[in-house]
C-alpha cells in the first residue's frame, strides 16, 4: 500500500507540459474480469484527454505503459483500487495500491504533476471538513480562499494546506520567478511569458509538501481552500517570488 513518503515523492515529480498521466482504477474481484482492465484504462484515459482539452499532450508510449502496468499488476490487486502514474519524459512509471477504505473514484488526469490528492485523502484517518480543521487551529494565522492561499504558497509560508479532494482550477506560473496566479499577468516580476498550469490546486499541494508543510484533503465542495501559517515565518525549502514575498521588484525599462 502507498505510504505518505511515497505520495510526497510522487508530488515532487514535475514536467514542463501536461504530459504526466495519473490513472485511478478499480481492479475487479474476479480473475475472469482482468482481461478487461486495459480497455477500462483506455476509457478513463480518453475521458482524461477530453477534460484536459488542448493543453494535454499524452504520449502514446505512456498510454501503452499504463495499460500494460494495469494488466500485469491486476492479479496482485484483486478487488483493490490502484493508481498508475506514467510519464516517459520524466522517467516515471509506477503503480501503487490504495487502502480498501479509499473512496477515490475511477479517473485519469493529465497534468504537469502526478494527481496525488486521492492518495493523500486515502492516507488520512477519515473524512474531514475545512471548518473542523480551522476550528482545531483557533488562534493561528489563516488564509481563506484560493487567492489568499496562492499568496501564502508563493511565499512558502504554509504550515497546513487544506484542499478539496475534487475540483480543478487552471491558472498560470510566472515564467521568471514561478509565482502561481489565476491570471497570466498577475505577477509583476516580468521577464518571460507566463506558463499555463492545468491545476493550481495540485500545484499548491506539491509546493506545500516541497516546503515541508502538511496537506489535508477534505470532502467539502470544490473550491473550499484554506491554509494555516506559523506565527514565525520559516525559511522555505525552495526559492520564492520576490513580489509574492513583499520584496522590491525591478521593473524592466519600457514597462
For the stretch 125-166, pLDDT in tens is 766 666 666 666 555 678 888 999 999 999 998 999 999 888
Instruction: Tell me the CA distances in angstroms from 134 to 62, 206, 210, 219, 254, one per residue in order.
Output: 40, 21, 22, 14, 45
Cell numbers for 182: 489565476
20-24, 31-35, 122-126, 195-199: least confidently modelled range: 122-126
Contact 25, 118 (CB under 8 A): no
pLDDT of residue 143: 86
Pairing of strands 214-218, 160-164: parallel
CA atoms of 95 and 73, how far apart (whole Å): 8
Q: What angle do CA 173, 176, 181 make, to 5 degrees?
A: 25
pLDDT of residue 248: 37
Residue 102: pLDDT above 60? no
Contact 163, 201 (CB under 8 A): yes
Residue 202: pLDDT above 90? yes
pLDDT of residue 191: 62
pLDDT of residue 129: 62
Residue 17: pLDDT above 80? yes
pLDDT band at 249 (very low <50, low <70, confident <90, very high): very low
pLDDT above 90 covers a percentage of the chain that reads: 50
For the stretch 73-94, pLDDT in tens is 999 999 999 999 999 999 999 9
CA atoms of 206 and 1, how far apart (whole Å): 20
Residue 184: pLDDT above 60? yes
Domain ranges of the chain: 4-119, 130-229
Give kind and range of the element (H or E) at residue 63: helix 60-73
CA atoms of 181 and 229, how far apart (whole Å): 19
Residue 24: pLDDT above 80? yes
Contact 228, 159 (CB under 8 A): yes
CA-based end-to-end distance of the chain:
53
Helix (H, G, I), strand (E, B) or coil at 98: coil
pLDDT of residue 4: 86
Decide yes or no: CATH 3.30.960 for domain 4-119: yes
Q: Where are the alpha helices (DSSP H) in 176-233?
A: 200-210
Q: Domain 130-229: give its CATH superfamily.
A: Ribosomal protein L30/S12 (3.30.1330.30)
pLDDT of residue 247: 39
Residue with cell 520524466: 90
Give kind and range of the element (H or E) at residue 20: strand 20-26
Residue 153's closest CA among 87, 85, 224, 206? 206
Give kind and range of the element (H or E) at residue 162: strand 160-164
Across the range 205-229, mean pLDDT stands at: 85
Across the range 173-183, mean pLDDT stands at: 89
pLDDT of residue 245: 44
Cell numbers for 151: 499568496
Averaged pLDDT of the chain? 83
Amino acid at each position: 500500500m502507498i505510504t505518505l513518503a511515497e505520495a510526497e515523492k510522487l508530488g515532487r515529480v514535475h514536467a514542463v507540459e501536461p504530459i504526466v498521466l495519473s490513472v485511478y482504477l478499480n481492479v475487479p474481484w474476479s480473475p475472469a474480469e482482468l482481461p478487461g482492465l486495459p480497455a477500462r484504462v483506455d476509457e478513463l484515459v480518453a475521458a482524461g484527454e477530453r477534460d484536459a482539452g488542448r493543453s494535454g499532450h499524452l504520449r502514446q508510449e505512456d498510454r501503452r505503459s499504463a495499460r500494460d502496468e494495469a494488466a500485469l499488476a491486476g492479479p496482485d490487486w484483486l478487488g483493490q483500487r490502484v493508481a498508475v502514474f506514467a510519464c516517459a519524459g520524466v522517467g516515471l512509471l509506477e503503480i501503487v495500491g490504495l487502502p480498501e477504505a479509499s473512496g477515490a473514484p475511477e479517473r485519469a488526469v493529465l497534468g504537469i504533476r502526478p494527481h496525488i490528492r486521492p492518495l493523500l485523502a486515502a492516507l488520512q484517518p477519515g473524512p474531514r471538513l475545512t471548518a473542523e480543521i480551522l476550528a482545531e487551529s483557533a488562534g493561528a494565522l489563516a488564509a481563506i480562499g484560493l487567492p489568499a492561499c496562492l499568496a501564502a504558497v508563493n511565499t512558502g509560508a504554509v504550515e497546513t494546506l487544506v484542499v478539496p479532494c475534487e475540483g480543478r482550477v487552471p491558472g498560470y506560473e510566472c515564467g521568471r520567478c514561478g509565482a502561481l496566479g489565476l491570471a497570466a499577468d498577475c505577477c509583476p516580476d516580468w521577464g518571460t511569458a507566463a506558463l499555463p498550469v492545468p491545476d493550481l490546486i495540485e500545484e499548491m499541494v506539491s509546493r506545500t509538501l516541497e516546503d515541508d508543510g502538511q496537506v489535508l484533503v477534505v470532502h467539502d465542495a470544490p473550491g473550499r481552500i484554506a491554509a494555516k501559517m506559523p506565527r514565525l515565518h520559516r525559511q522555505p525549502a525552495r526559492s520564492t517570488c520576490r513580489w509574492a514575498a513583499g520584496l522590491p521588484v525591478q521593473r524592466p525599462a519600457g514597462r
